[in-house]
């Protein structure tokens, strides 16, 4: 597995990227993400500190800190799934 802490200033973005592995995200702060997808669609996600969420491998998106405060989260990527 690989564990990374990401810190974003308001308005900062990841740039488009594809997740090669299943991953789990644990927000450090409450906040709002604006998410852009390659087909032009968009979504918004409310983050709550300490409340984890997961996504499968293959997700492609650009993630933007849509709030007015810095935002941090810890991402754990699983290079192989058990079993």
Residue 52 pLDDT > 90: yes
pLDDT at 32: 96
| Mean pLDDT of all residues belonging to the chain | 95
Residue 81 pLDDT > 80: no
Topology of domain 2-41+53-78, CATH: Jelly Rolls (2.60.120)
The string of DSSP letters for 35-78 reads: EE-TTS-EEEEEE-TT--EEE-TT-EEEEEE-SSS-EEEEEEEE
Residue 28 pLDDT > 80: yes
pTM for this entry: 0.87
Residue 83 pLDDT > 80: no
What are phi and psi for residue 6, nearest 5 degrees? -110, 135
Q: Decide: helix, strand or coil at residue 28.
A: coil
Structural domain spans, the chain: 2-41+53-78
Please state the rounded mean pLDDT for residues 55-63: 95
């Amino acid at each position: 597995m690989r564990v990374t802490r990401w810190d974003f200033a308001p308005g900062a973005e990841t740039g488009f990227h594809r997740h090669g592995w299943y991953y789990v995200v644990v927000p450090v702060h409450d906040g709002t993400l604006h998410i852009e997808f390659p087909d032009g669609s968009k979504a918004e996600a409310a983050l709550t500190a300490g409340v984890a969420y997961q996504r499968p491998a293959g997700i492609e998106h650009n993630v933007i800190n849509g709030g007015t405060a810095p935002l941090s989260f810890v991402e754990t990527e699983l290079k192989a799934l058990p079993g």
